[in-house]
Amino acid sequence: METSKQREVVITGFGGQGIILTGNILGKAATIGDGRHATMTQSYGPEARGGSCSTQVIVSDGEIAFPYAEHPQLLVCMSQEGYEKNQEALVPGGTIVWDTDLVETGELNPDWRAYHVPATRLAEELGNKMMANIVMLGFVSAVSDVVGVDSLKEAMLSSVPPHTKANNDAAFERGREYGQAILKSRAKRESSGEPSGS
């Protein structure tokens, strides 16, 4: 019997960054947009704002028996603590994405697909650093196929306050463009025989 394709995602950061909203958007994109199954769990540190925070999203073609990510294929880090707590669980061949200005990774597993993006800085350039999570979602849409791009964008736009839709749309597109530029640059370097780097 063929097993259904399942993807485990962990998104980490600290309270106030919209980490839980990001997980909600991802789950909504999977279920409503892509017509798949999804679960989401969340955890907070003792402080509501500024403490550690994470969400786990499971996306599957079939029913999901266990809602916790034990072996994530995608890890998104928007805090140093989140990276340090979760990086060892990322599977070989998995994808890790982190905010350049908030996380220092040191040497990474060479089996991982590694990407970094100055999400908070890009959001500040757009006028509101609180949109860093949306910049990150746009970036993830470029470097990962965990959910469909159109589904993710539609889920995002339906999850933010109506008066912020235009700004959040710009943040999503900025992150996506940044990710596409990195992919293009890596492909060019690899075709010329240079190491791809991150």
CATH of the domain at 56: 3.40.920.10
In a domain, 193, yes or no: no
In a domain, 163, yes or no: yes
Question: Which secondary-structure segment (H or E) carries 189?
Answer: helix 165-191
In a domain, 197, yes or no: no
Q: Mean of the per-residue pLDDT values for the chain?
A: 92
> Measuring CA to CA, how many Å separate 117 from each of 11, 120, 133, 155, 179?
15, 9, 11, 22, 8
In a domain, 51, yes or no: yes
Query: How confident is the model over 11-56, as pLDDT tens digits?
Result: 999 989 999 999 999 999 999 999 999 999 998 766 556 678 999 9
Ranges 72-76, 117-121, 167-171, 190-194: which has the least confidence = 190-194
**Per-residue model confidence (pLDDT) at position 47:** 55
Helices 149-157, 132-143: axis angle to 10 degrees equals 170
**Per-residue model confidence (pLDDT) at position 100:** 97
Average confidence (pLDDT) over 77-92: 95
The whole-model pTM stands at 0.92
Domain membership of residue 38 as a residue range? 6-188
In a domain, 152, yes or no: yes
In a domain, 194, yes or no: no
Q: How many domains does the chain have?
A: 1
In a domain, 20, yes or no: yes
In a domain, 134, yes or no: yes
Helices 19-28, 149-157: axis angle to 10 degrees equals 120
Residue 59 pairs in a beta bridge with 7, 38
159 DSSP 8-state letter:
T
